[in-house]
Amino acid sequence: MIPSEIRNSVYSLVPTVASLLFGITIIIVGIVSEIFNFIGVLVLIIIIMEIAALLQFFPVKKVKNSYQEID
């Protein structure tokens, strides 16, 4: 739950971060399409899809404590 004090800033931050991520992807796809034409773009899309599938299949988990307290 987002506290009400920072809710508006978080709501305006999410579209900004999303546009930055997708903007970079669009630029990279444009550069690849200029150099390698359709096959290069197709390979790039397949690589992005594979990375997305692997991130869904093997989620990144945060380790709570990497050490144990010694009594």
Has residue 27 been placed in a domain? yes
Has residue 67 been placed in a domain? no
Has residue 33 been placed in a domain? yes
Report the percentage of the chain scoring pLDDT > 90: 7
pLDDT digits (tens, 9 = 90+) for 7-51: 777 777 888 888 888 888 888 888 888 998 889 889 988 998 999
Q: Dig out the tokens for 14 from the structure.
A: 């999410």
| Residue span of the structural domain in which 21 resides | 10-57
Per-residue DSSP letter, 17? H
Alpha helices in 1-71 (DSSP H): 7-57
CA distance 10 to 16: 10
Instruction: Report the number of distinct structural domains present in the chain.
Output: 1
With a cut of 70, say whether residue 71 has pLDDT above it.
Answer: no
